[in-house]
Amino acid sequence: MRRDTGEVTSTQYVTETFFFLHTINAYEDRGHIVLDIAAYKNADMLNCMFVEALKNAAYDPTYAQMFRGRPKRWVLPLNPDKDAKPGANLVTLPNTNCRGRWAKKNVVYITPELLSDIGCEVPRIYYEEYNGRPYRYFYSICSDVDHPSPGTLVKVDVVNKTHVEWSEDNVYPSEPIFVPHPEAKREDDGVVLAALLRAKGLDDQVCMLVLDATTFTELGRVEFVASGPVPKCLHGWFVQDGTLRVHKDTNGAQDDDTDSQK
């Protein structure tokens, strides 16, 4: 529907069945809606998160396949050619392999495009400038549990459909956070931050990794040892210094923002 008027369009869009936890980005471009999603074939991957499934993951030959996801792009033509021949591609947006065809009257079947042949989860972009707008890069954790380096960070170029990786033995990263340079001149002009945890008896060790977002190479890190095992944290956030506000409840006590500020 149109957000400005609430009008529901006469065209409906259908596609292959899929399941997702996170979207990457979405925007309107030359008469099309572009929708990028970290997609799975179905919701079976949720079964992989139960404790018993995790315990048996190394012995279950279907585990990796159930968890197999890929970043895909759907391009929805907002004004598809009603006189197009059967099977004709209704997607006229350049530089995409996504296709749309008439399935029946007022129903367009969309075939998505693969953005990169690697599993990607908790994807992040340069939100301040590119959320809801055409963009080029996103950053994620590799979700392929049978990847040679399961703790891999990924940078995907959605224009060239390529990706680069960063990994290290016995390291498991959190959601990568892009922080732009204060005077950023390019979309990937900045750094990527990720918290790193370790296994194999080193689960009290924590690290903050800093990557050059352009080259995806390490700039530095801060390492320390916690007082006990640190559980894996999937998500993360970066808050610029001085931007947090302290809130007080009715009893005058300070809330969690204060702890974050400290």
Binding site for Fe cation: what residues are annotated?
Answer: 22, 235
CA distance 71 to 47: 20
Enumerate the known binding-site residues: 22, 235
Task: Assign 104 to helix, strand or coil.
Answer: strand
State the DSSP code for 52: H
Strand ranges for the chain from DSSP E: 12-15, 19-29, 32-40, 69-77, 99-104, 107-111, 113-114, 120-124, 137-142, 153-157, 162-166, 172-173, 177-180, 190-197, 205-212, 218-225
CA distances from 103 to 16, 86, 92 (A): 13, 8, 17
Half-sphere exposure of 5 (CA within 13 A, CB side): 5
Rounded CA gap, 90 and 13, in Å?
12
Instruction: Please give the C-alpha separations between residue 43 and each of 74, 147, 157, 193, 262, in angstroms, as whole numbers.
Output: 19, 21, 27, 30, 40
Residue with tokens 């459909």: 161
* Calpha distance 134→125 (Å, rounded): 11
Q: Which residues contact 196 (CB under 8 A, 6 or more apart)?
A: 151, 168, 171, 172, 173, 174, 206, 207, 208, 209, 221
Beta bridge partners of 77: 32
